[in-house]
């Protein structure tokens, strides 16, 4: 009889409790698939409150460090969260003791992943974190193993369900950002303090991990340009719809002639693209590989059951004896990367201006764009319903003008719009949204 894989779980929240339940429920299947039994032998959590799972026969460790050092535990599962202690010290302790580690902690992997991967290399244990990005979507395994023989040119996706839910509701119901955010909080899709999600930082942590796997670079969250969705207005989503686009908060990492570009920001994507069809709290990741059509993985990116399924899959790999390099290659082979200035980004742009409705305004805007060699693909001017076109020389209130540019550089767009503002032919701040082609 093969000895069971003895699992210790730190953290018994929604995900941890579901992991315990899944291992119990799928015990026979796991044994058949991995060739050895998988057994939860010890747990720890902040409190011993009653939970809707059976913990009979399972040892209760006094704290995460004690659990990580327990000689009767082969695989330490960290589900506490947080980018520092106790999660960091507990994982480090487990790895140095020669144990394998499974975690769903994106913040920890984004900040300390290289250090922990080095410890795993030294000890020979596994460090698995599939659940850290996309929950049930197997994007880590796809990049690290499934596409090991494929050169990756771009990986991008919807990595935050809260933001995708808000943008979906705004588009479908014409609601404001604030209205949709409040509803997301009421339904439990957004935290009481939603800033980490809506300002793009959650997406950035996940993108940092994906970029490392895709391009062999060191995990570097600080190298990512980050912009959130709070500036998006219903009129932007309506205009996008009419122009054949949909607005999504995307995390994008791509290989360019100047290096690896990493960015998080609201993005217009063609409605014909796979990623544009992903609505609500669902996540999706598209991978562009050399010699193959784009691959899009879609699924639940959060939630207890979805996250637990990825955690148990990682535990199953440990039981099988799989010891893949955490980031696809040895840590000392991962290349350093610098933050690519967004001024060098090249692509198409959506620009919405509140133009002063009088003679000469359009010519001034066109001149400033031409000075920066920006070509316009389309231009739409919207007068308020029922209003009459102004006569030559007459003046009225600001009128929305929407421009779609051909590919240009970010610094050119900013210089042109700064000049237009100095000319005082527009009111307020221009709205600029980048366009990501298929």
- pLDDT, position 392: 41
- pLDDT, position 390: 41
Which residue, among 143, 107, 57, 98, has the nearest Cα to 324 in the 3D structure?
143
- pLDDT, position 358: 79
Calpha distance 409→281 (Å, rounded):
32
- pLDDT, position 6: 97
Those residues whose C-beta lies under 8 Å from the C-beta of residue 380, and which sit 6 or more positions away, are 239, 242, 243, 401, 402
Helix axes 161-173, 177-186, angle to 10 degrees: 130
* pLDDT tens over the chain, length 438 residues: 689 999 999 999 999 999 999 999 999 999 999 999 999 999 999 888 888 888 889 999 999 999 999 999 999 999 999 999 999 999 999 999 999 999 999 999 999 999 999 999 999 999 999 999 999 999 999 999 999 999 999 999 999 999 999 999 999 999 999 999 999 999 888 888 999 999 999 999 999 999 999 999 999 999 999 999 999 999 999 999 999 999 999 999 999 888 899 999 999 999 999 999 999 999 999 999 999 999 999 999 888 899 999 999 999 999 999 999 999 999 999 999 878 788 888 999 999 999 987 778 889 999 999 999 999 998 887 655 555 544 444 456 788 899 999 999 999 999 999 999 999 999 999 999 999 987
Give the 3-state secondary structure of residue 47: coil
Calpha distance 408→418 (Å, rounded):
16
Query: pTM above 0.85?
Result: yes
Give catalytic status of residue 106 as yes or no.
no
Calpha distance 228→250 (Å, rounded):
10
Q: Exactly one of 39, 141, 206, 248 is catalytic; which is it?
A: 206
- pLDDT, position 188: 85
- In what order do the strands lie in the sheet containing 59-60? 59-60, 38-44, 5-10, 75-78, 100-103, 127-128
């Amino acid at each position: 009889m093969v000895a069971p894989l003895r699992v210790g779980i730190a953290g018994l929240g929604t995900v941890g409790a579901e992991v315990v339940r899944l291992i119990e429920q799928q015990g026979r299947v796991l044994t058949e698939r991995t060739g050895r039994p998988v057994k939860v032998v010890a747990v720890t959590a902040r409190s011993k409150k009653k939970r809707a799972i059976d913990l009979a026969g399972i040892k209760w460790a006094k704290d995460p460090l004690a659990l990580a050092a327990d000689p009767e535990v082969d695989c330490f599962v960290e589900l506490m969260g947080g980018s520092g202690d106790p999660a960091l010290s507990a994982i480090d302790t487990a790895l140095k003791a020669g144990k394998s580690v499974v975690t769903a902690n994106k913040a920890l992997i984004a900040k300390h992943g290289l250090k922990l991967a080095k410890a795993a290399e030294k000890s020979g244990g596994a460090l698995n974190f599939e659940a850290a990005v996309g929950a049930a979507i197997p994007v880590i395994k796809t990049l690290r193993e499934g596409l090991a023989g494929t050169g990756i040119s771009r990986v991008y996706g919807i990595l935050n369900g809260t933001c995708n839910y808000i943008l979906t509701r705004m588009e479908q119901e014409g609601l404001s950002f604030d209205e949709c955010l409040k509803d997301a909080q009421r339904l439990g899709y957004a935290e009481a303090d939603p800033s980490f999600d809506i300002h793009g930082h959650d997406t950035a942590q996940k993108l940092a991990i994906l970029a490392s796997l895709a391009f062999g670079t060191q995990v570097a969250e600080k190298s990512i340009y980050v912009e959130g969705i709070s500036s998006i207005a219903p009129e932007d989503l309506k205009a996008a719809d009419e122009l054949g686009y949909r607005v999504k908060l995307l995390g994008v990492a791509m290989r360019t002639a100047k290096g690896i570009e990493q960015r998080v920001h609201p993005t217009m994507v063609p409605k014909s693209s796979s990623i544009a069809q992903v609505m609500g709290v669902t996540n999706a990741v598209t991978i562009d590989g050399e010699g193959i059509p784009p691959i899009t993985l879609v699924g639940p990116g959060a939630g207890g059951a979805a996250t637990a399924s990825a955690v148990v899959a990682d535990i199953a790999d440990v039981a099988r004896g799989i010891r893949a390099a955490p980031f696809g290659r040895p840590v000392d082979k991962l290349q350093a990367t610098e933050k690519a200035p967004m001024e060098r980004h090249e692509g198409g742009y959506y620009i919405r201006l509140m133009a002063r409705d009088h003679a000469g305004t359009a010519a001034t805007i066109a001149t400033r764009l031409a000075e920066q060699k920006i070509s316009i693909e389309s231009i739409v001017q919207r007068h308020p319903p029922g209003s009459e076109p102004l006569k030559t020389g007459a003046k009225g209130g600001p009128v929305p003008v929407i421009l779609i540019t051909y590919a240009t550089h970010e610094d050119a767009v900013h210089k042109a719009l700064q000049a237009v503002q100095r000319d005082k032919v527009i009111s307020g701040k221009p709205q600029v949204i980048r366009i990501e082609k298929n």
